[in-house]
């Protein structure tokens, strides 16, 4: 089976590049090999590769910067997935694409299901929702996986901020009024492969079990690292940012778990496991 992977230098893409060979031959591209802001380049790369599966792990992920780079963010997150969908449709290929909990406005206080209506409150989130809709409109076979608070050892992310401070024994303040599900990039890659083996399709929420505020996540990272750092709760309003975040964006993963035949692991268990793995590496 031929698989085309985009965004192989990103935190999810790097994990996918390791996991996807279990399914077939992988042609991996990064930003230098495929600029998703260029529709002609997308068409050329896909037509040369002639994949049976396209896994799009590339994205514009700078949530705050998207407010000032609105056109570029929309081109990469909103337009490019539709072009990939058109090419997948032409080839009869399956398109796997990743989206975000941020498509929801955070007004709900129970986990969001795949049937809940999105209502993005930032430009970044609007671009991600547009990407979902463009793929569906293309008519291609697709698997869209929404995930949340993704972290890993390679890219700048919320975990890395906490881990650096914890390693230095620094105190920190973290917001306690944003709640979601911390998700390791390796988890996303592992269960993408598992879902592909089950021939999953459509829209699924792919996150671990449980919920956490950013404050609770920071406390667990500190505990897992054996650090003596202290963390104090704070409010989002104390850290002004260009883009709004939903206060509650927990995703319900029961549909994915049913397809896989077992509950997904808890975020705390996964956090301790990946920190232990990274420490040994």
Which residue is associated with the tokens 């002609």? 40
How far apart CA 237 and CA 245 sit, in angstroms, is: 11
CA torsion through residues 83, 93, 12, 264, sign? positive
Alpha helices in the chain (DSSP H): 11-19, 39-49, 70-74, 80-91, 123-138, 158-167, 185-197, 214-225, 254-260, 267-280
Contact 53, 3 (CB under 8 A): yes
Q: Which of 173, 176, 164 is nearest to 232 (CA)?
A: 173
Query: How many C-beta atoms surround the C-beta of residue 171 within 10 A?
Result: 10
| Rg for the chain, CA atoms, rounded | 18
d(CA 233, CA 55): 38
Catalytic residues: 124
């Amino acid at each position: 089976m031929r698989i085309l992977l985009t965004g192989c230098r990103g935190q999810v893409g790097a994990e996918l590049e390791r996991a996807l060979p279990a399914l077939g031959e992988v042609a991996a591209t990064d930003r230098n090999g495929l600029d998703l802001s260029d529709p002609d380049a997308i068409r050329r790369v896909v037509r040369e590769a002639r994949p049976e599966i396209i896994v799009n792990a590339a994205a514009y992920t700078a949530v705050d910067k998207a407010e000032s780079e609105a056109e570029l963010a929309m081109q990469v997150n909103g337009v490019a997935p539709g072009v990939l969908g058109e090419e997948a449709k032409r080839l009869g290929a399956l398109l796997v694409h990743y989206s975000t909990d941020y498509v929801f406005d955070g007004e709900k206080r129970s986990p969001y299901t795949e049937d809940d209506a999105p209502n993005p409150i930032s430009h970044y989130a609007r671009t991600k929702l547009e990407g979902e809709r463009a793929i569906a409109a293309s008519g291609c076979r697709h698997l869209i996986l929404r995930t949340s608070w993704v972290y890993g050892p390679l890219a700048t992310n919320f975990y890395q901020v906490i881990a650096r401070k914890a390693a230095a024994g620094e105190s920190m303040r973290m917001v306690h009024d944003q709640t979601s599900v911390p998700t390791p990039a390796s988890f996303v890659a592992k269960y993408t492969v598992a879902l592909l083996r089950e021939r999953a399709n459509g829209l699924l929420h792919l996150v671990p079990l449980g919920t956490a505020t950013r404050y609770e996540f920071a406390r667990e990272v500190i505990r897992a690292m054996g650090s003596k750092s202290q963390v104090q709760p704070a409010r989002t309003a104390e850290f002004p940012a260009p883009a709004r975040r939903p206060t509650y964006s927990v995703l319900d993963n029961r549909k994915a778990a049913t397809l896989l035949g077992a509950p997904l692991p808890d975020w705390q268990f996964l956090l301790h496991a990946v920190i232990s793995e990274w420490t040994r590496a």
